[in-house]
Amino acid sequence: MRLTDQTLSSLTAALTHASRAYRAAADKVASDFGLSQATGLPVLVISRFGEGGVRPGILAETLSLEASSLVRIVDHLIGSGLVERHEDPQDRRAKILRLTDEGLKTAALMDQALTPFRRKLFGVFDPADVEATLRVLSGLPTAIANVQAEATEERKSA
């Protein structure tokens, strides 16, 4: 089966709309903990990296943020007592971000609040459809990078 241009256009519009709607819902959950989606999501993501923490560059990449945008967010989280900045034991020039005890508690509470929301949200769909959607969305960044690389090569050879 071949996808039509109309289907692909509708898919990209739906992707954008769904992303905005989910971010707004997640923002509401984060606000219950005195955070915004912009500050709540980094707390959750840092928690998923475990006790070793995460370098700011990797966090920025994971969140699809520019490093300069992340600096302000991290500074805010440090000021709020949720995150600490440490020297990387592997490379003293680099920094590692770790959650404080309060940050760990906040991340756990946010995750507890988001879990039933996610279950309700995705529970109305066939599990196979959710799995297929996850496969497509997980592969999308690589597909985008490949298409962009091909376009760059085509421009160079033209």
CATH of domain 23-123: 1.10.10.10
**Separation between Cα atoms, residue 62 and residue 70, nearest integer Å:** 11
Give the up-direction half-sphere exposure of residue 107: CA atoms within 13 A in the CB hemisphere: 22
* Whole-number pLDDT of residue 29: 84
Q: How confident is the model at residue 81 (pLDDT cuts 50, 70, 90)?
A: very high
Of the two residues 33 and 10, the one the predictor is more confident about is 10
Q: What is the pLDDT of residues 94-137, one digit of tens each?
A: 999 999 999 999 999 999 988 998 999 999 999 999 999 999 99
Q: How confident is the model at residue 26 (pLDDT cuts 50, 70, 90)?
A: confident
Q: What is the pLDDT of residues 41-65, one digit of tens each?
A: 999 999 999 999 999 999 999 998 9
Q: What is the three-class DSSP state of 96?
A: strand
The pTM for the full model equals: 0.78
For the chain, the structural domain boundaries read: 23-123, 125-158
Q: What is the three-class DSSP state of 80?
A: coil
Percent of the chain with pLDDT over 70: 100
Tokens 């590692």 correspond to what residue? 96
The closest alpha carbon to 95, from 148, 52, 124, belongs to 52
Q: What is the pLDDT of residues 133-153, one digit of tens each?
A: 999 999 998 999 999 999 898
Q: What is the three-class DSSP state of 147?
A: helix
Q: What DSSP designation does 99 have?
A: E
* Whole-number pLDDT of residue 95: 94
- Give whole-number Cα distances, 27 to 33, 56, 57, in Å: 10, 22, 23
The crossing angle, in degrees rounded to 10, of helices 56-63 and 67-79 is 110
